[in-house]
Structures are given as C-alpha cells and as structure tokens.
Amino acid sequence: MNQPKSILIYSHDWSYAFTKTTEFLGEACESMDIPTLIRDSCDVRASRLITETLDNEEITQDFEDEISRRINTLVYDHGIDCIIALDLGWLFIPDLFLKNPRIKKIYSIWFDDFISWCGTPNNAIFPYRQNSFQEVITHPKVVHCFYGKAIGREAARLGVKNQIHSNLAAPQSFLEHNFPCTIDNKMAFIGNPGCRQEPSKQIIKCMKEGATLDKLRNLSCQEITGAIHKGIWKWTKEHPDIKKLLATAVFAKREMPYTSALEILEACGEDYPNAINYLNDHSRILEAAHVIKFVLRYDRPAFVNHLYQKGLVDVISNEHEWKQYDIQASPPIIADKLPQYYMKYPAHLNAANAIRDATANEKLFEISACARTSINLNSPDVAACYDGSNEIYLANTFEEAEEMARTILKDPDTALSRGKRCRLRTAHEHTWEHRIKKFFSLKNWE
C-alpha cells in the first residue's frame, strides 16, 4: 500500500488533560511504521489572538512568518509529506501547509460540526480570514473525513467535494487492557449532557415524571418554534418565509430523527424556495440546520436521567452540567484512566450529542474495545457498526433501555460475553489503524 513517508499530526487541545485521540492516531500511524510527530496548534492560535489585539499588523505578520519558518523547517527535516488533524486543527496559518510542496495531503478527521468548530474560542482563522476560509478548506490537497452524513452534507454546502465517509474508532491499546469488573449492580454513563444550554423547568419536570422520548422531542420542538417566533435568532427575521421553513423542518426532524438536519431543511426548502435560497446566499444555512438539530437535544440527558432515577446507572464527568438535571455526577476521568473505568462496569449507556447530527460516536467504539457492551438508542449508524442482537443493545424507547439495563444487571456474565464480542468486532474492524489504512488506500494517497 502506498502511504505517507512521515506524518505530522496537529491537535488543538494542548491545555486539556482529557484529550486522547491525537495520541491514538499517532500510535496507529507508528504501528504502520510511519514516522509520526504530534504537535498542537493551541498556543499559536492563542498567541495569534494576542498579537492581533495589539492592533499591530507588523507583529502579527512577523509572528506568523517566524512560526511558518519553524514549521517548514520541521517539515523539511522530518521529511513530512502528510498532515492529519482533528477537525481543522491544522488550519492556523492558512497557506502554511497548502503552499508547501512537500505536503501532499492534509486529512481533516471531523469530530465537531462546522458551526461548533468555527465558534470555538481560539479558532481564529474563521474571523481572521473569513474570505479565504472556503478556498482553504476546499483546496485539492485537503481530504475531509466525516463520520456522519450530516457533517458531510454541511461540508458539501461549503463546497467541500474531497470527502470520505469514515467512522470514528478505538485505539489498539484499549484492546489489550484487562481490568476487572468490580461493580456489577450498576451501569455507567461517562460524559456530558450534550448541549450546554440550560434545560427549562418544564423539561426537567417532564423527565422526572418519566416522559417518553417522543414527548421530550415534541416539547423540544415547541421550545424551538417558540424561540423562532420570538425572534431569538435575529436572522430568522430577514426573510418572511424563514420562520415557516424552520417550523416545518423542526417537526420533520421529530418524525425523522436520524435524517440530517440539513437534508430535512433542503427537502422542506422545496416548499419555501425563497427562504432556503436566502439562507444559503446569506451564509445562514448551517446556522438554520444547527437550530433544527436541537430537536434531539434532550435525547441524551433524558436517556441518562431515566436510568439514573431508577438507580441503574452511575454518571461520571461534568458534574456542574448534570446538576441542572438533578443528577449527581462524579468527577471526570482523565484519558489514561478511561479503560479502567469502562471495565469496572459490566455495561455502559451511550448516546450521541445531538449537535453532531451523527450517532456513532467515539465512545461507542472505545467501550467496545474495552470488552464492554453498551445500550444505545437505535439509530442506523450505530446499528451499522455493531450487531444489536449479540454485541450491543439498541433501544427504541427509554422503557426498552430500562428493561435491557435490568437484564444486564441481573445477569452481568451474559453482558460481559457480549462485551467480548464487541471487542472482537472492534479488533477486526474498528481501530484507528483500520481507519488510517483506509485514508491511505491507493485511491486517497498517491
């Protein structure tokens, strides 16, 4: 197989102690005997923001020039011909890698969606060179790897043609851990509630009263349409048909929860052509899709909340965010302790973050790699990765999930056997090495 001579992986998470994926990618590349360096761009981004605030173009330019010089020297010395980054972690000096003839390909492995990425602090590139953003991300050297159709569709709207579908994955090293299962009367959920916005009192009350998934999605639709009518998002007032288009799309999402928000918006746009054209022409279409994604925002917290109330699950991480759902979570787990925690329990809950509009998240693979099964909400993406009848559990309702959890806790050995099959499947199909090999298959790397 053709493969790069040497890889530089850029992460964007330097100051975060919970990061892990860039290191996993590095291990996968090294296991393929490709010399690999991992660097992060966080300091450069932050420093660039600082120099820009000085309002002194000369300093900003000098800074950019010197950092470019140093990185180009590293690229030369190490014989680097390929860049890999999560999201657009490589994009901190726009022309740097694009103009360097030694760099043949740049792979963006998407975890975030575009709107979330561009709205993250220190992603200075978006406001800084807004005009060239599309030009840069659609450059022929850049390959975008998306794990959900929604992100790919959003990218296509931005003109990104060079894209491949690639599931997320687990590190090979997780397959090798063998920590004991020491808690057999509880499952666990490790993670945050997804959307950071505070839930309304009505939602919390409904969750406590055992509202169904359908009811919560319906309530969410009402909250969103209410906000649209109130004009919370100012751009919704810019064309008379936008509110109608959004309202139609929001309820359509409720009916088709695993169809991407953008696809729904485009379909509904056939009835409101002026509105959809306006959104597209005025660069609002991704923001509109973002609003529609909120329909599922309570899926994850409600799923966790339902089993938590029944005493079936321990919730770990993001204590303050869970507090608003009346859930007492324990402190976050540092990345290197994750396998230990996954293996401590006989099984896990897993649910996607609604904002991604994609359900086969990284945790699905990591839990499996640690030889544990998971209960997930039934979605086509998750079902495509693992078998719902003997590897993972796929629930259509909270009640079904509760029943599955009780079955697991009644007979943890059976759950552990499923976990073993999850591990096997992961070893065969779902490690980062599998993904990286796919990236470099002849079609993509030559």
Partner 1 sequence: MSEIDNKDAVLILTDDRYTPASKTSRFIMQALRRLGIRAWVRDTSDVRYLFKTLEAKNLEKHLGASGMIHVDRFKSFVDLAGVQSILSLDLHWLFTPEPFCSNDKIKKIVSLWFDDLRTACTSQDAIKPTDRSFQETIGHQKVHHCFYGQAQMDEGKLLGITNTHFSQLAAPLEFAQRETDDLRHPKKLAFIGNPGIPTPPSEKILNLLNNKASLKELRKASAMDLLQNPSMDHFRKLHTNIPKIIEQAIEQKLHEPYTSALQLLLKQEKNFPGAFDALNKSGNVLEAAILIRLVNRYDRPALVHRLYQHGFVRVFSAEDEWKPYGIEAKPLIRFHDLCRVYRAHIAHLNGANSARDATANEKLFEIAACGRASLNLTSPDILKAFDSPTEIIACDTLEELESKAHDLLAQPEQLLEIGNNARQRVIREHTWDKRIKTLFKSLP
Name the one range near partner 1 by CB under 8 A: 56-64, 188-196, 357-365, 368-376.
Answer: 56-64
CB of 169 to partner 1, least distance (A): 22
Helix (H) or strand (E) holding 316: strand 313-316
CB of 51 to partner 1, least distance (A): 7
Q: What mask, x for binding partner 1 by CB under 8 A, covers residues 396 to 425?
A: ------------------------------
Question: Considering beta carbons, is residue 50 or 256 the nearer one to partner 1?
Answer: 50
78's CB contacts (< 8 A; 6+ apart) are 6, 8, 35, 37
* Token pair recorded at residue 277: 């054209």
Tell me the site size for partner 1, rule CB under 8 A.
37
Rounded distance, CA 10 to CA 21, Å? 11
Rounded distance, CA 344 to CA 184, Å? 8
* 16 near partner 1, judged by CB under 8 A: yes
CB of 70 to partner 1, least distance (A): 4
Asked if 112 and 85 touch (Cβ cutoff 8 Å), the reply is no
CB of 337 to partner 1, least distance (A): 8
* 200 near partner 1, judged by CB under 8 A: no
Helix (H) or strand (E) holding 348: strand 347-350
Residues 369-388 that bind partner 1 (CB under 8 A): none
Q: What mask, x for binding partner 1 by CB under 8 A, covers residues 313 to 342?
A: -------------------x-x-xx-----
Rounded distance, CA 235 to CA 317, Å? 35
> Between the CA atoms of 204, 205, 206 and 210, what dihedral angle is there, to the nearest 10 degrees?
100
Residues 21-50 that bind partner 1 (CB under 8 A): 30, 35-37, 39-40, 42-44, 46-47, 50
Question: Considering beta carbons, is residue 7 or 285 the nearer one to partner 1?
Answer: 7
Rounded distance, CA 434 to CA 166, Å? 10
Give DSSP secondary structure letters for 376-432.
EE--HHHHHHS-TTTTSEEESSHHHHHHHHHHHHH-HHHHHHHHHHHHHHHHHH-BH
Residues 67-86 that bind partner 1 (CB under 8 A): 67, 70-71, 73-74, 77-79
Asked if 286 and 157 touch (Cβ cutoff 8 Å), the reply is yes
CB of 38 to partner 1, least distance (A): 9
Which residues are near partner 1 by CB under 8 A? Answer: 6, 14-18, 30, 35-37, 39-40, 42-44, 46-47, 50-51, 54, 56, 59, 62-63, 66-67, 70-71, 73-74, 77-79, 332, 334, 336-337
